[in-house]
């Protein structure tokens, strides 16, 4: 029996269309690019149910004549290229002429358009690429395209559409990129009937960022500009200064020859430019415009042109890195020159840090010590990057709960293992697993030095404690002590973030953190595991929100696993003793004893080694006692 059948033409078309548009943001991109190509100065985008229900782009561009409008939905219909030779020199976005054809193959499309000289506008209803209804209507010059019920006729694809919030986030970020790229265009975004963004034309990128992210954000922006005439490269735009950071990369935008692109090498170069000014796991915001000779860049490496390949990637990357570094240095030295001390608001913009392993060039913090930690922890504020909190919170100076050191908390939380020790002024002897060792002391208040039979052992106190805590958080939750905070931490967040968080409060709960949503913009942390009761919860919560966004496309179990792991690592990192903390011999012993009992004890949860040994053999070789 004959088995192979040819698919009907319209089925083939639907499958091909699904490859061009696989999510609502792709449609938005194609429609807005068309509006820009049409010379629009006003573009409004309307989204319903994450774009699954409705996407509408309305512009005041050149519009289409009736005959062109009808052609526009056909495959390979384009006004932008006539032959392959045009491909090289093309300046507009589209050149495949398949966007409208694809969109109308997988959604119910309405096109309303009027060309300047036409008397009336034309309205077309399109289904499965066929015009099902047409009429002449009064209309202003421009085009309005509505795509409804995405994938109504391709159920297999519909299943893969993500939650409304996920799609909204993709679309919003895309629109941000257009706003940053086209300052002269008035963009508006309406999500489920509410105005979400309104960006009238501006002259400079910094005021555009103020329209998108608010004035307090834009205050941190430093404009950059550099030209390398010999290489025909120009880099311009703006980056945030060292007083700002966020927990994800979603505010880093690169544009190459005016096209928004993603490029790993450029991201790395940007972050390298921030070296020493940005703690690990934290990211700046940046809008970088790179102008290069079109021959120096291949834009056809990605089906939707979202990535590019440079002919000389290192030249571009190193120019970017040095430009960023220089801009930050100049900004810093200008600030110092003005003898500007940080205003109290600025201090809150940067969440309080007590971890000097993560010190930054700009920081004005003191090395950690227990005394100051105790005082500081009684005054912690919940200031954050977005919504500064009042500097002073009404927290009493001392409470029994807040008066214990991190090491003491460790002891409270676990049943202390009785250890037999005999402490001499400089040495202490201790036997674990029949192995003898002496703690020589603490080096640089960061490393524990241990004398062993076979050499000198260095243990990184922070990494070691992190590993111990990680095990407690991930393995022994039932045994983990939690405390109700005497002074619950109130944290201000953006509405979107609260919505994202609200759906995942269970993850916090399963880690001993009890959170209640309090109004539209605030949450209250009521209780935490005893180990982390003094940490800056604002920071942890924002990190978790960033992970929620990052991982939300995974399936439920994978998502829970990922976020949970990250959370354990971060809680451990924050609660662990820091480099710079003075430790007593007893505390060092306790930590080493705990480390001995911990799985994977040779690395911290981030993969750094907890310790290493300088063998007696190596030492003797250095002294030329041995060869």
Q: Which residues contact ligand ADP by CB under 6 A?
A: 30, 34-35, 38, 59, 61-64, 72, 77-80, 94-101, 143
Q: Which residues pair with 489 in a beta bridge?
A: 525
243 binds Mg ion (CB under 5 A): no
Instruction: Name the residue nearer to Mg ion (CB basis): 97 or 294.
Output: 97
**With CB under 5 A, what is the number of residues at the site for Mg ion?**
3
Smallest distance from ligand ADP to CB 87, Å: 12
Collapse the DSSP code of 563 into the 3-class scheme (helix H, G, I; strand E, B; otherwise coil) and give the result.
Answer: helix
SS (H, E, C) 399-418: CCHHHCCHHHHHHHHCCCCC
Using CB positions, name the residue nearest to Mg ion: 94
HSE, side-chain direction, 13 A CA sphere, residue 444: 11
How far is Cα 170 from Cα 45, in angstroms, rounded to an integer?
A: 14
Q: Looking at beta carbons only, is 119 or 230 nearer to ligand ADP?
A: 119
Smallest gap from residue 199 Cβ to ligand ADP (A): 19
Query: Which CB atom, from 61 or from 488, has the smaller least distance to ligand ADP?
Result: 61
- Separation of alpha carbons 536 and 520, rounded Å: 21
Distance (Å, whole) CA 529 – CA 323: 44
Contact flag: residue 102 with Mg ion (CB under 5 A): no
Nearer to ligand ADP, 62 or 410 (CB): 62
Per-residue mark of binding to Mg ion, 320-349 (x: CB under 5 A) = ------------------------------
φ/ψ bin of 293: left (φ > 0), alpha (ψ from -120 to 50), beta (otherwise):
beta
CB of 254 to ligand ADP, least distance (A): 23
Q: How far apart are CA 81 and CA 89, in angstroms?
A: 10
Q: Is 543 helix (H, G, I), strand (E, B) or coil?
A: helix
CA distance 218 to 288: 15
Minimum CB separation from Mg ion for residue 293, in Å? 25
Closer CB to ligand ADP, residue 87 or residue 419?
87
Q: Name the binder of 79 from ligand ADP, Mg ion, none, CB < 5-8 A by kind.
A: ligand ADP
Q: How far is the CB of 94 from Mg ion (least distance, A)?
A: 3
Do 170 and 144 form a contact (C-beta atoms < 8 A)?
Answer: no
Cα-Cα-Cα-Cα dihedral sign, residues 491, 494, 497, 501 = positive
The count of other CB atoms within 10 Å of the CB of residue 163 is 14
Closest CB to ligand ADP among 101 and 579?
101
**Which residue has its beta carbon closest to ligand ADP?**
94
Q: Which stretch binds Mg ion (CB under 5 A): 33-41, 331-339, 421-429, 583-591?
A: 33-41
Q: How far is the CB of 51 from ligand ADP (least distance, A)?
A: 17
Give buried/exposed letters for 399-436 (b at 16+ CB in 10 A, else e): eebbebbbbebbbebbeeeeeeeeeeeeebebeeeeee
Per DSSP, helices labelled H in 300-385 are 313-337, 344-349, 370-377
Q: Which is nearer to ligand ADP, 71 or 231 (CB)?
A: 71
Q: Which does 383 bind (CB under 5 to 8 A by kind): ligand ADP, Mg ion, none?
A: none
Q: What is the three-class DSSP state of 599?
A: coil
**Distance from C-alpha of 217 to C-alpha of 349, rounded to nearest angstrom:** 10
CA pseudo-torsion sign 245, 246, 247, 248: negative
| 343: exposed, middle or buried (Cβ count in 10 Å: 0-12, 13-18, 19+) | exposed
Which among Mg ion, ligand ADP, none contacts residue 512 (Cβ within 5 to 8 A by kind)?
Answer: none
CB of 147 to Mg ion, least distance (A): 13
Q: How far is the CB of 141 from Mg ion (least distance, A)?
A: 19
Smallest separation (angstroms) from ligand ADP to the CB of 95:
5
For ligand ADP, give the closer residue by CB, 175 or 210. Answer: 175
- Contact positions with Mg ion (CB under 5 A) in 66-95: 94
Half-sphere exposure for 471 (CA within 13 Å, toward CB): 18
Residue 80 C-beta: closest distance to Mg ion, Å: 8
Nearest to Mg ion of 71, 562 (CB atom)? 71
Q: Which stretch binds Mg ion (CB under 5 A): 10-18, 43-51, 97-105, 567-575?
A: 97-105
**92 versus 196: smaller Cβ distance to ligand ADP:** 92
Taking the C-alpha atoms of residue 107 and residue 56, their distance in angstroms, rounded to an integer, is 12
Residue 34 lies near Mg ion (rule: CB under 5 A):
yes
With CB under 5 A as the contact rule, the residue among 99, 256, 349, 501 that binds Mg ion is: 99
Instruction: Write out the residues near Mg ion by the rule CB under 5 A.
Output: 34, 94, 99
């Amino acid at each position: 029996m004959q088995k192979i059948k040819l698919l009907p033409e319209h089925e083939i078309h639907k499958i091909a269309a699904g490859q061009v548009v696989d999510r609502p943001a792709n449609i938005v991109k194609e429609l807005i690019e068309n509006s820009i190509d049409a010379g629009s100065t006003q573009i409004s985008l309307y989204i319903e149910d994450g774009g699954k229900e409705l996407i509408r782009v309305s512009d005041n561009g050149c519009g289409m004549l009736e005959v062109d409008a009808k052609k526009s939905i056909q495959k390979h219909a384009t006004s932008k290229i006539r032959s392959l030779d045009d491909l090289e020199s093309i300046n507009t976005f589209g050149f495949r002429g398949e966007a409208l054809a694809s969109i109308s193959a997988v959604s119910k499309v309405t096109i309303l358009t009027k060309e300047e000289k036409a008397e009336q506008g034309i309205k077309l209803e399109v289904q499965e690429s066929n015009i099902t209804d047409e009429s002449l209507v009064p209309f202003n010059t421009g085009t309005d395209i509505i795509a409804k019920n995405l994938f109504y006729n391709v159920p297999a694809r519909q299943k893969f559409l993500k939650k409304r919030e996920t799609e909204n986030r993709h679309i919003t970020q895309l629109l941000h990129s257009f706003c940053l790229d086209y300052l002269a265009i008035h963009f508006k975004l309406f999500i489920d009937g509410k105005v979400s963004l309104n960006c009238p034309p501006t002259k400079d990128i910094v005021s555009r960022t103020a329209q998108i992210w608010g004035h307090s954000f834009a205050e941190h922006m430093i404009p950059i500009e550099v030209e390398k005439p010999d290489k025909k490269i120009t880099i311009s735009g703006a980056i945030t200064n060292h007083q700002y950071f966020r927990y994800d990369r979603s505010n880093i935008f690169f544009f190459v020859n005016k096209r928004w692109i993603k490029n790993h090498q450029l991201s790395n170069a940007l972050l390298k430019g921030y070296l020493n000014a940005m703690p690990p796991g934290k990211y700046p915001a940046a809008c970088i415009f790179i102008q290069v000779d079109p021959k120096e860049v291949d834009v056809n490496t990605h089906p939707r042109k979202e990535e590019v390949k440079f002919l000389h990637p290192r030249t571009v990357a190193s120019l970017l890195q040095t430009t960023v570094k220089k801009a930050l240095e100049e900004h810093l030295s200008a600030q110092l020159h003005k003898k500007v001390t940080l205003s109290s608001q600025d201090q809150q913009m940067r969440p309080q840090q007590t971890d000097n392993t993560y010190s930054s060039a700009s920081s004005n913090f003191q090395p950690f010590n227990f005394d100051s930690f105790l005082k500081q922890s009684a005054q912690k504020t919940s200031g954050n990057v977005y919504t500064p909190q009042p500097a002073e919170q009404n927290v009493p100076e001392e409470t029994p709960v807040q008066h214990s050191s991190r090491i003491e908390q460790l002891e409270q939380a676990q049943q202390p293992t009785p250890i037999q020790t005999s402490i001499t002024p400089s040495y202490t002897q201790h036997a674990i697993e029949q192995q003898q060792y002496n703690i020589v002391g603490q080096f640089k208040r960061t490393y524990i030095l241990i004398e062993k039979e076979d050499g000198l052992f260095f243990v990184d106190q922070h990494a070691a404690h992190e590993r111990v805590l990680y095990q407690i958080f991930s393995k022994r939750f039932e045994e983990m002590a939690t405390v109700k905070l005497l002074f619950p931490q109130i944290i201000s967040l953006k509405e979107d973030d609260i919505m994202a968080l609200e759906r995942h409060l269970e993850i916090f709960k399963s880690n001993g953190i009890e959170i209640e949503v309090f109004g539209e913009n605030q949450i209250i942390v009521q209780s935490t595991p005893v180990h982390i009761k003094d940490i800056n919860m604002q920071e942890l919560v924002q990190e978790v929100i960033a992970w929620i966004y990052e991982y939300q496309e995974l399936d439920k179990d994978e998502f829970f696993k990922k976020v949970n792991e990250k959370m354990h690592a971060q809680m451990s990192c924050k609660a662990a003793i820091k480099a710079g903390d003075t430790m007593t011999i007893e505390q060092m012993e306790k930590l080493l004893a705990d480390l001995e009992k911990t799985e994977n004890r040779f690395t911290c949860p981030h993969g750094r080694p907890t310790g290493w040994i300088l063998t007696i053999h190596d030492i003797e070789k250095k002294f030329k006692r041995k060869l």
